Amino acid sequence: MKNWSFIIVLVVAGSCYAASVAKSKPLSSVSRFEWKHHNNKELEDVLRNVTKRCPEVTRLYALSKPSVRNVPLWVIEFSSNPGNHELLKPEFKYVANMHGNEVVGRELLLGLADSLCTAWLEKDKDVRKLISSTRIHLLPSLNPDGWQLATETGGNDYLTGRANNNSVDLNRDFPDLDRIMYSNEIRHVQHNNHLMDHFRALDHQPQPETWAAMEWIMNIPFVLSANYHGGDLVANYPYDASRSGAAQEYARSPDDDTFKHLAQVYADRHPRMSDPKRPPCTPGDYSFGQDGGVTNGAAWYSVRGGMQDFNYLSSNDMEITLEVGCDKYPPGSALEQEWLDNKHAMMEFMWQIHTGVKGVVRDSQTGQGIPNALIHVKNMTRINDTHTRDDHIYHDVTSVHEGDYWRLLVPGEYEVTASAEGYMPLTHEVTVTNPLHSEAIRRDFDLTPIPEEPFMPQPMGSEDYEEYPKGQEELPLAEELLGRLQGLGRIPF
């Protein structure tokens, strides 16, 4: 009996200890994430599990349209106030698996969602600061149908599964805003922002996945984003389409300095992307490690109808494209190492949304925020003791519905001008330093109303605009859908 009593005491004591451990570490904080290729149902399950573990800072939602095969395009949001845009809190997005057979980014975003939740629960100061100051959206798969086809056929073909279920390459399916922008340049019209406002018709009906992404981009005031691809190892920045129509040609954007910086931030934090000694993915090809792991899109190869340029030319968002591996569909056993290679770069790139300048444009008399105000920047950075730069950055951003704005910039000295219809323009001088993991410098604008003659802001010589496309058979956009798209990037929900 004494021996049995001793055993019972041990069992009871062990049970009490286990209960105590369970109380000290809630089950909701335990991650069960597995590094493997998750199918479309498992992808949803992973995201739902994250929202259950971190309900106070996450929200799961689907884009406005599913895929051709009716698979929802799931997005998980991280924010201290999920579901709402907050004044002066910038919006960030990562997108992956646009090409269905390029799968590494898909798993990286699932891993990132799990990691952010775990770090939040463990009270990681840096992650808590990032989530509290940023609204983050992760779309692991824009092309779940292509992923399904690539997976069913073994994931070994370079092209099978790349397109959607209608055999359309989604990264060639967006409206060709580069055409309008380059046409404006030829006519010396320096207008290259919010160009969807000037669309009257399209030359093709975009795929449902493309429509969903377009509405998403123009509904939420994204500031910074990246799109994950595979097949090489390089960070690619706008413009993606060449000016002359050449297959390869450096196509500089007005924000070339900032875009190169953003791409370099990611490449420098990847263990191999910026290594000048790494071999090319295919023997005889070029290794972008010689260029620091970055490239201008059109200098690599020209792309029309891509999502990267659509973001920049239709909204306030600055997007780069990340090619994160030579192998488009590596074995599941390689995915955890891919995460270890990319995790630091993914986190640091998100912090870049807090560079440059931000603020609120208000009515000086009422204090109310002014939406759709134009924010124009002139670079006045000192070159030496006697000279300073005098460069207009001919790509304006606009304030959103409460008057808040964000303008990503590299360190330097700038003149920032806010203008709005019915108000006198106002200019502030700002010095941008971009300290590590700190919010952007703030400069507010209190605009004085014009009592009589209304002021119409002109974005550097905009006269009239070419209706896209000219000289081609046009398929009219549905009036209701066009109305939903036009102007959404200026007044988000």
Instruction: Look at the alpha carbons of 10, 11, 12, 14 in this order and tell me if their dihedral is positive or negative.
Output: positive
Residue 489 pLDDT? 44
What are 145's two structure tokens?
């149908």
Structural contact between residues 119 and 127, judged by C-beta atoms closer than 8 angstroms: yes
Residue 456 pLDDT? 63
Is 323 among the residues known to form the active site?
yes
Residue 424 Cα distances to 330, 369, 447, 448, 475, angstroms = 57, 15, 6, 6, 41
Residue 483 pLDDT? 52
Residue 177 pLDDT? 94
Assign 21 a pLDDT band (cuts: 50, 70, 90): very low
Across residues 257-262, what is the average pLDDT? 98
Whether 17 has a pLDDT exceeding 50, the answer reads: no
Strand-strand pairing, 318-325 and 232-237: antiparallel
How far is residue 308's CA from residue 303's CA, in Å, rounded to a whole number?
A: 10
User: Which residue from 114, 140, 90 is spatially nearest to 35, judged by alpha carbons?
Assistant: 114
Whether 468 has a pLDDT exceeding 50, the answer reads: no
Residue 344 Cα distances to 90, 91, 268, 271, 351, angstroms = 21, 20, 10, 10, 11
Give per-residue pLDDT as tens, 396-454. Answer: 999 998 999 999 999 999 999 999 999 999 999 999 999 999 999 999 999 999 987 65
What are 378's two structure tokens?
């002139």
Angle at 241 between CA 324 and CA 414, to 5 degrees: 85
User: Which residue from 286, 318, 312 is spatially nearest to 299, judged by alpha carbons?
Assistant: 286
What are 171's two structure tokens?
């990264």
Assign 231 a pLDDT band (cuts: 50, 70, 90): very high
Of the candidates 323, 439, 463, 467, the residue annotated as catalytic is: 323
How far is residue 260's CA from residue 187's CA, in Å, rounded to a whole number?
A: 27
